[in-house]
A = this chain, B = another copy of it.
C-alpha cells in the first residue's frame, strides 16, 4: 500500500472520476455565485419583520449542516462501505431515531449519561438512539429473529463535549454490519475483520492495523491480577483509555479513583503493555497465571482459531493481538477489535489526529437482555467510523486544493436571443423527458456570456444554443464547454446526439 500523499490523491481522483474539478475553476464559481445574486437581494425588500438583535442563528452545539461538497464526499464513501456490506451478503435494516428510554438503560456502562432524552410531553419516555447495535438487538428480540446478517447506515446522538478538530460531533453517522445467529466458532468473527480490511484498503486511507483482544482474556487477566469481579467493568473502561492517555495516567485512575491496590495495578500493567501476533497468543497460553484461568483460556483458544482463519483470508499481518484493547461498551462478551490508522513520520507533523476508524466485537448476551425469557442470540459485528473517514478525506482534499462537482448536470440550455423563454422551456422539457440532466437560468433575458460562464463554473460539459435563425433553419447548436467547439445539428436529432456524446465521455 503506498504511503499518504500525492499518490493517494491520484487514486482518489480516479475514485471520484469526473466529479473532480480543478481548484481554480471552483474559486471562480464561488465568487461569481455570491456577487451575481447578493446585489439583487440586498437592494430589495429590506423590511425586517421584528427586532431580533440578540437572535443568533446557529445549529445546536456539537452539530452541523453538511454542505453539498461534504455530501458528495460522504455519498462516495458510503457507497463504497455499503458496497462491501452487500458483497458479504448483508440485508439493510432501519430503526427509529428514538427508542423507549428503558431499552437503552444498562447497555452503555459509564457512557449512559451521554444519552439524549426527549421531553416528557405525555405518553412514553423516549431517548435518541446512542448506537445502532442496541436497536438491532431490540429488533431481533422483538421479532424473534434467530439469525440475520444486516447492515445499517444511520445517525446516532451522544451528548459528548464536542472537540470538533478531531471530528467528534454530538450527531454523527454510523455504518454497522452485524451477524446474528448460532454458528461454528470464529467464522463470522473472521468475516467481520475481513470486511474492516476490505473497507480500509478500498478507501486508501494509508496503512492501518487492527487491534484484537477478547473480553474473556481481559476478565481472566483481571481475575488473576486480583481485581474484584465487581470492578471489572469500571477497570475495563479505564484500560480502554490507553490509546489516548499513558499507562501512568491510567494506573493513577484505577488506583486513586477506582480503588485498586497498587500491586494489582502493576500486575495489570505488565499485561496491557503486550501486543503481537500469533506468537503472543502462544506465549499467553504458557503464562503461569493466565493459563490457570478458564475464561482466559477460552478466549485464547478462540483467538488462535481466529488467526488461523485470518491467515486464510490473507489479512493476518494486519491484525495485532493487543492486551490493552478493552472497548468501553458494556455489552461485549468475546472477541473485540479496533482499527487504527498508522501515521508516517511526515504526517506526524500535521495537526490532524486520526485514531480509531472502525471497531466492533462479539456480544452474545445483548439480545437476551431484551427477551422476556432471556433467550440469547449470539452476535458479532463492526462499526465503521465514517465521520473520521469523512474528516480525513475532506482535510486531504483541502490540503491538495481538490474540489468536486456538486451537481451532475450534463446539458445547459442557452440562447443569445431576447424573449426566448418559451423556446427554452419547451426544449429543456424535451431533454428532461429523455432523462437528460439539464439546467437553464431562471431569467427571461439572460446574457449569453452569463450563461456560458455558468456552465464553465459548474463544470457542465455541453450547451445547447437556440436562436431565431436556427429555429427557422430547423437546426440547433451544440457546444462543448471544454473545447468551445460548436456544431450545428438537425433539431430532430438533438436528443440522440446528446445521448451519443454523453455515452462516449
Interface residues of A (CB under 8 A from B): 33-34, 36-38, 40-42, 44-50, 52-53, 55, 57-61, 63-68, 70-72, 75, 86-100, 102-103, 116-121, 123-124, 126, 128, 135, 138-139, 141-143, 146-147, 150, 155, 157, 159, 171, 179, 181-184, 187-188, 190, 194, 198, 308-309, 312-314, 365, 368-377, 406-409, 421-422, 425-426, 429, 432-433, 435-439, 442-444
> A460 → chain B, closest Cβ, in Å?
9
Closest 8 pairs between A and B when the two form their complex, measured CB to CB? A48-B374, A68-B91, A183-B442, A63-B96, A66-B94, A89-B439, A117-B119, A71-B92
Q: Are B443 and A60 in contact, CB atoms less than 8 angstroms apart?
A: no
- Residue of B75, B117, B308, B425 near A313 (CB, 8 A) is B425
Most buried by B among A34, A63, A92, A99: A92
Can you list 25 residue pairs at the A/B interface with Cβ under 8 Å? A37-B146, A37-B147, A41-B375, A42-B375, A44-B376, A46-B375, A48-B374, A59-B95, A60-B100, A63-B98, A87-B437, A89-B407, A90-B407, A92-B406, A96-B171, A97-B128, A118-B118, A118-B128, A121-B159, A181-B442, A183-B442, A183-B443, A188-B442, A312-B425, A313-B426
A438 surroundings in chain B (CB, below 8 A): 87-89
> A454 → chain B, closest Cβ, in Å?
11
> A305 → chain B, closest Cβ, in Å?
10
Q: Are A312 and B422 in contact, CB atoms less than 8 angstroms apart?
A: yes
Given contacts A89-B439, A117-B119, A438-B89, A71 and B94 within 8 Å (CB-CB)? yes
A118 surroundings in chain B (CB, below 8 A): 116-119, 128
How far is it, in angstroms, between the C-alpha of A126 and the C-alpha of B128 when the chains are bound?
13
How far is it, in angstroms, between the C-alpha of A313 and the C-alpha of B96 when the chains are bound?
40
Most buried by B among A37, A87, A150: A87
Q: Are A432 and B46 in contact, CB atoms less than 8 angstroms apart?
A: no
How far is it, in angstroms, between the C-alpha of A429 and the C-alpha of B100 when the chains are bound?
40
Chain B residue nearest to A408 in the complex (CB):
B86
A90 surroundings in chain B (CB, below 8 A): 407
Q: Are A91 and B71 in contact, CB atoms less than 8 angstroms apart?
A: yes
> A466 → chain B, closest Cβ, in Å?
13
Q: Are A443 and B184 in contact, CB atoms less than 8 angstroms apart?
A: yes
Q: Are B426 and A194 in contact, CB atoms less than 8 angstroms apart?
A: no
A143 surroundings in chain B (CB, below 8 A): 65
Q: Are A146 and B41 in contact, CB atoms less than 8 angstroms apart?
A: yes
Given contacts A365-B49, A372-B53, A442-B187, A155 and B97 within 8 Å (CB-CB)? yes
> A63 → chain B, closest Cβ, in Å?
4
Given contacts A92-B68, A141-B57, A442-B187, A182 and B40 within 8 Å (CB-CB)? yes
Q: Are B93 and A67 in contact, CB atoms less than 8 angstroms apart?
A: yes
- Residue of B96, B375, B377 near A65 (CB, 8 A) is B96
How far is it, in angstroms, between the C-alpha of A150 and the C-alpha of B309 when the chains are bound?
47
